[in-house]
Amino acid sequence: MNVTTPCWVKQAVFYQIFPDRFAKTPQPRHSLPPTMQVPLEAWDAPPQFHSYKGGDLWGVIEKLDYLVDLGITAIYFTPIFQSASNHRYHTHDYYKIDPLLGGEPAFDAFLEAAHSRGLKVVLDGVFNHASRGFFYFNDILENGSHSPWIDWFQVEQWPLAAYDGDKPANYKGWWNMRALPVFNHDHPPAREYIMEVGEYWIKKGIDGWRLDVPGEVKTEGFWAEFRDRVKAINPEAYIVGEVWDDATEWLQGDQFDGVMNYLFTGPTLAFVAGDRVDQALVDGPGYFPYPAIQAEEYGKKMTQLLRQYPWEIQLTQLNLLSSHDIARVLSVVGEDRASYELALLLLMTFPGAPSIYYGDEVGMVGGLDPDCRRGFLPAEQWDQDWLNLHKQLIALRRSHPPLQTGDYQVVLAEEWVYVFSRRLGNETRWVALNASESQASINLPVTQELGEPLFGAGRAVQGEKGWSLELPARSGMVL
């Protein structure tokens, strides 16, 4: 099969935004429409499962120049459609932007402002399940067996118990959650509805879809049809799935362009942080940044991962260190800055599109959900050194094509020292990491002239038999 993926993703740097927590409109709240004049949780208060902090799309517009200055080229939003939850995975209406986010006027203004700055926009498609408030399921709750939309969902028996936990729900909910009734994807009208939603927002101008739990849709050919219909409107639209483990089934070029690459995340943190990983923060989520591994094992895992899918797919994987579903990376590594710096260096030099979770770049911490979804820090609390580090590494990636699309070759992997190359045509960039507690000297099998390091505190020394690198403890460099 001839695998093609969106060209722009191969050069992209993503920024993931949880809309309720990133930015509020700067307008006084009394001048806002009534839908937004509601009681809100304090922005700096610990986030709760069911409260709103009031972030909105007008506020995101105000932050776009900040994102451009950071070096971001694409935004991935968690859901923004009308919903009865702060995370908006309980969809009420797939054709309406949540009023608390500013509704359609705010989204239209945001999309125009983002595109005018060259930023791509990817929305979250929650198409495995809807919510109790979704009109067609709500009709079933109101009208029971007389509802014409029964076949849209997986009703097992009557009566339904959508709220009473002492009785069987009698319909299939995602992970047995009554709030999230699962679609019947085998039912043609329900299937067509989802396809048309996918088409509608692509026609509106979005640049792609992130698909929530797509592996739980078992209907044969569903995602292939979704791809065909989306790509018929925009061949360069990005389709990325939330698949946490082996995604071979979906990454053959006929369904997704990539997945959220947790198979990169786990081993990377297990290598650079080792025993510093806070086990209490990683026992639940299934990305396994433990047990600690050394360079040889890390190299094997990365080599295996890069052989797992076609190369065109590798270049459009969505690589990440944090997300709304896992504890923030700085907390996971025990707030050890060297561990995070090494992980960030690997993120920005690995094949695929790197993604920064909002606030990681200014030093935000946070435990498991909902703590990983705190309000974005005010500017006076930003760690400026941390922000500059992110800017530096993002700029490095964007200005060196081999770090974007060059092939990946492990050069050396011994104990806690790891070196790999990214080669594109006649250009090669070397990336070296020393995750140990002592300085390391590395002999490189390189005969060509090496210049000053592009990044890092180490240095290259030319000898009779080639080059050696001297790397301080817990540091990395790019040549």
Strand partners, 370: none
pLDDT tens digits, 108-165: 999 999 999 999 999 999 999 999 999 999 999 999 999 999 999 999 999 999 999 9
**Full pLDDT tens readout for the chain, 479 residues:** 689 999 999 999 999 999 999 999 877 766 777 877 889 999 999 999 999 999 999 999 999 999 999 999 999 999 999 999 999 999 999 999 999 999 999 999 999 999 999 999 999 999 999 999 999 999 999 999 999 999 999 999 999 999 999 999 999 999 999 999 999 999 999 999 999 999 999 999 999 999 999 999 999 999 999 999 999 999 999 999 999 999 999 999 999 999 999 999 999 999 999 999 999 999 999 999 999 999 999 999 999 999 999 999 999 999 999 999 999 999 999 999 999 999 999 999 999 999 999 999 999 999 999 999 999 999 999 999 999 999 999 999 999 999 999 999 999 999 999 999 999 999 999 999 999 999 999 888 777 788 889 999 889 988 777 889 999 999 999 99
The burial of 463, by beta-carbon neighbours within 10 Å (0-12 exposed, 13-18 middle, 19 or more buried), is given as exposed
DSSP 8-state assignment for residue 129:
B
DSSP 8-state assignment for residue 51:
-
The bridge status of strand 459-463 relative to strand 466-471 is antiparallel
Q: How far is CA 465 from CA 100, 157, 447, 461, in A?
A: 65, 77, 8, 11
CATH code for the structural domain at 407-478: 2.60.40.1180
Provide the 10 A C-beta neighbour count for residue 119. 20
CB-based contact 316:257 (threshold 8 Å): yes
DSSP 8-state assignment for residue 365:
-
Tokens of 291: 């047990």
Task: Please report, for the chain, the start and end positions of each structural domain, with discontinuous segments joined by +.
Answer: 7-405, 407-478
Rounded to 5°, the CA angle 298-300-302 comes to: 70
Cα 73 to chain centroid, rounded:
14
Nearest to 185 by CA among 130, 119, 112: 130
Cα 4 to chain centroid, rounded:
21
CATH code for the structural domain at 7-405: 3.20.20.80
Instruction: Provide the annotated active-site residues.
Output: 212, 242
| pLDDT number for residue 263 | 98
Nearest to 74 by CA among 153, 16, 124, 143: 16
Label each residue of 410-449 as H, E or C: EEEEECCEEEEEEEECCEEEEEEEECCCCCEEEEECCCCC
Q: How far is CA 166 from CA 138, 163, 192, in A?
A: 20, 9, 35
Rounded to 5°, the CA angle 181-184-185 comes to: 125
* Amino acid symbol at 108: D
What whole-number distance in Å separates Cα of residue 93 and Cα of residue 91?
A: 6
Contacts 24+ apart (CB under 8 A), 459-466: none
